[in-house]
Each structure stands twice: as C-alpha cells, then as structure tokens.
C-alpha cells in the first residue's frame, strides 16, 4: 500500500482563498466519482503510478484550490468556511494493490473484465474498498478537512481511480478542470518522462468574489421550493464547526438501476418529441428528452398517483457560468449551481399514458424551468443567503425519494470519456459513484459513441415495472 500527500509541483506560500456566498451554501460533503481504466499493470511498482502522481502534482499547481485545507473562518458566527494553502498543502494519495498476494482476499469482486461483463455494477462493492477510509467517516467535530483525496485501486486487468473532492471547493465542472489538467500532464509524463511545466493561475483569475453580491430585500417567497431551517443541515455534534452536512439516510428499500441510451435511440426519442412540438420551437436536447421520458415512466412505475400524491416537482442543478453578465470563464473553479431549476406539475398529468404529446409537455416544462434560472434568479438567491443568520440555513424544501419529487443530477456535459490520459491508458472505460445524493436520476457523461448511461433510484418493484415498460425499453437497455 502506498500512502502519502501529493503536493503541487510548484511550492506554495501561505494563502487564504475566500469562498463565495454560493460556495458557502454548497452541499458540505465529498463527491466521490470513480473512473475505471483498463490497464495491464505490474502492481505498486508499475510506472503508471509514477506518471499519475507526477501528473496530479503538476495539475494541482494549476488548480491549487484542490490542494487546500478547508477550515472555519476565524471569528465567523455564520458557519462560514475558507480554504488555506501553505508549503505543506496537497492531496492525500493512497494506492492499494488488490492483485498482491497479501491483498487478494480483500478483493472478491473479480477482475476488470469480470466487472465489465456485469456493466461495472458497484452495488455489492463496499465503498471502503475503493475510497480512502478517512473520506468516508468524517467526525462531526473535525476542525479541518482536505479539499481532495485520491485512491487508486489496482485490480486484475485495470484500476479504479476514486476522486473525492469537497463540494465547498467547486462544482463538478470546476472539478473537471482539474481532471483535464491531470490527464494532460499524465500523458506528457508518459511521453517525455515528466510533465510539462504548469501554467500557473494569474492573481486576477479568481472570480469567486463575483458570487458574493446579491439583490437586496430578497425573500424566501421568491423560491418557495426552498426552506430556511437551521436544523436541516447541521451536524449531530453541538458546537461543530460544520465542515460536513448531516447525512440523509434513505430509510426504505431502494435499488439503483443502470440504463444505457445509445446515440441512435437518443435521436429517435428526440424525433418522437419533435413530432408533437410547435413549429417555432427548437429541437429538444438529449437531456430534455431523456428527463421527460424518465420523469413520466419512473413516476408511473413508482405508482405515485395511486399513493395519494398530487404533484411532482422536477428539479435539476445547472451550472450558470455562461448566464452571468459578463459570463464567468468556462474554467472557473467554484460553485455556481444554485438555485435549482424547478417545475411542479400535477401527477395526474405526469402519469398519463405516454404519447408524443404528453412527453413533449414534460420536455417543454423542463425547458421552461431551466430557462427561468437567469442572473436575476442567482442574485436573488445570493441576496437571501447573505441576509440569513448562517450561510447553511437555506436548503431544499422538496421531497425527493421516497417522496414524489424528481431530482436530476446532470453530468452529461463533462468530457470524461474524451480525455486522453496517455499511452496505454487512453480514456476511462466507465464512471461510477461511491456516494448517493438525494435524488432519483443521474445522467452520466456522454460516451465516445454519443450514448449515455443513466442511473435511476427507486423501489425494487418499480425497477421491475420499468424493465417491462416498452415505453422505456425501446429507447434504453437495462444494464443491471
């Protein structure tokens, strides 16, 4: 086992990075995506480990926020956090060789090819086998946290890269900036024996301050699907510095099913919706079409209308870099995904028979929800947070699973499967998650062939109904 701290390749001085209002209000937990690579390695001494570590070190010099330590703002009474950098900053790094004779019994989950034959299902693989243990059990009274942690799990025929970052630092698009940089420098290390020199961020590159200013007199009535409740996110320990949100455990049986929409099926679905759309509307996007299809069919499979629920709220987090005036840079590191796009419809309408017209109605509602989130909505949200007693007092007020509201986490725009990590590695074969937020639907990045995997969380019996639903299976293949 190899454990150490990977420091930026360029030494850092003492520095404080001030988080924006939206960063302060972001979910306080570790996102834990996992990327699976096919690679015939030679254990801990394989050169791939050296190249990956060198690439990460250089990438952290380009995105130093991810090398930071998250701490409370001294003297703050509003549960505010900040990032601290110094000569000792870096990302905890752990490599576990499950092909080593001493560790083989700890990995009864099969080779890379065996995982692939089961579409990389992680349902029965404990998170502690692939994620650094210190990133799984966070004490309520922790006084500081690493912004990023990495575990590489070597298995026969490949490896699993767990990328654990604290959401306060950035949203997924910002984290993807680091991943792209890491891949680029790892590729250079393969080619030339070491990465290129990093392009250091300029002092005026940090635009977090732009997300501190909101509208005056903003009220919760303007976003009725949110609530102000200091108890919803607070950790269990009294007086905690609140580096981590209270976890919401799902207390009813559920199953996560994976579905694959190949590119021709996505286009066929869009064409189906297009037949019922008005002539002056632009074609629905793949995300709008898939979300409309699954909002309807998952709600029907869960029999929500029969359970006495009257409405279902569709929500999805967008990233708004291009919607601000002036726009934020596409490589902006930080959080800009709230407020969520939202649209509430009667379940009687959602659960009506699936026709091109009824699906188009849902897709149009989803488009209306996303288009409503503009600069004014973001500024109103920021203004409301700034007026509260604590930055974490504002939270979602809707009722996701096992309730009727339909939450979507959309990762489809990330270029994960088009990023080249270098000779012998190429791009990840698959992406999975070692965590689960409240919500029903995850849209994974579009693959190299234009297809998309989708994961659905619902009751086990609802999964069986979806598998028998021709309205879903004519567009998507069940993968387990």
Based on the residue annotation, tell me whether 167 is a catalytic residue of this protein.
yes
Burial (CB < 10 A; 0-12, 13-18, 19+), residue 340, is buried
Burial (CB < 10 A; 0-12, 13-18, 19+), residue 456, is buried
Are the C-beta atoms of 323 and 373 separated by less than 8 Å?
Answer: yes
Angle at CA of residue 55, ends 50 and 58, nearest 5° = 125
Are the C-beta atoms of 329 and 208 separated by less than 8 Å?
Answer: no
Q: Say which residue the tokens 């190429």 belong to.
A: 426
Beta bridge partners of 255: 458
Burial (CB < 10 A; 0-12, 13-18, 19+), residue 181, is buried
Q: Which of 51, 166, 167, 242 is catalytic?
A: 167
CA 259, 265, 270, 274 torsion-angle sign:
negative
Nearest to 93 by CA among 138, 127, 49: 49
The residues that are catalytic are: 167
């Amino acid at each position: 086992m190899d454990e150490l701290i990977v420091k930026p390749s360029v030494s850092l001085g003492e520095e404080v990075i001030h988080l924006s209002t939206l960063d302060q209000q972001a979910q306080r937990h570790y996102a834990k995506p996992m990327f699976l690579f096919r690679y015939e390695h030679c254990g801990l001494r394989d050169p791939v480990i050296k190249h990956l570590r060198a690439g990460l070190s250089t990438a952290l010099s380009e995105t130093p926020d991810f090398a930071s330590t998250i701490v409370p703002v001294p003297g703050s009474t509003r549960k505010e956090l900040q990032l601290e950098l110094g000569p000792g900053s870096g990302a905890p790094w752990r490599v576990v060789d499950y092909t080593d004779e001493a560790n083989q019994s700890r990995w009864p989950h099969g080779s890379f090819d065996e995982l692939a034959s089961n579409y990389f299902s992680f349902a029965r693989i404990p998170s502690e086998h692939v994620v650094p243990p210190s990133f799984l059990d966070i004490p309520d009274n922790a006084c500081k946290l690493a912004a990023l942690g990495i575990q590489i799990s070597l298995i026969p025929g490949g490896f699993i890269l767990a990328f654990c970052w604290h959401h306060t630092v950035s949203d997924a698009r910002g984290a993807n900036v680091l991943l792209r940089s890491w891949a680029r420098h790892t590729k250079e290390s393969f080619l030339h024996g070491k990465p290129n020199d990093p392009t250091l961020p300029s002092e005026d590159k940090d635009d977090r301050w732009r997300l501190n200013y909101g509208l005056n007199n903003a009220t919760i009535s303007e976003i009725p699907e949110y609530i102000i409740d200091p108890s919803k996110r607070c950790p269990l320990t009294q007086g905690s510095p609140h580096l981590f949100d209270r976890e919401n455990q799902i207390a009813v049986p559920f199953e996560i099913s994976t579905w694959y929409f190949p590119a021709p099926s996505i286009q066929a679905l869009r064409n189906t919706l297009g037949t019922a759309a008005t002539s002056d509307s632009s074609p629905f996007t793949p995300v709008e079409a898939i979300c409309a299809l699954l909002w309807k069919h998952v709600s029907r499979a869960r029999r929500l209308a029969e359970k006495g629920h009257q409405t279902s709220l569709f929500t999805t987090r967008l990233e708004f870099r291009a919607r601000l005036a002036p726009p934020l840079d596409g490589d902006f590191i930080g959080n800009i995904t709230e407020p969520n796009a939202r649209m509430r419809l009667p379940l009687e309408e959602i659960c009506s028979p699936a026709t091109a017209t009824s699906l188009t109605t849902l897709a149009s509602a989803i488009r209306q929800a996303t288009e409503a989130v503009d600069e004014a909505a973001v500024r109103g949200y920021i203004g409301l947070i700034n007026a509260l007693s604590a930055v974490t007092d504002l939270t979602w007020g809707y009722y996701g699973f096992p309730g009727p509201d339909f939450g979507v986490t959309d990762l489809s725009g990330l270029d994960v499967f088009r990023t080249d990590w270098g000779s012998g590695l190429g791009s990840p074969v698959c992406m999975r998650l070692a965590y689960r937020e409240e919500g029903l639907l995850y849209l994974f990045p579009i693959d190299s062939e234009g297809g998309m995997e989708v994961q659905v969380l619902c009751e086990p019996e609802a999964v069986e109904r979806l598998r028998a639903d021709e309205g879903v299976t004519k567009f998507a293949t069940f993968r387990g």
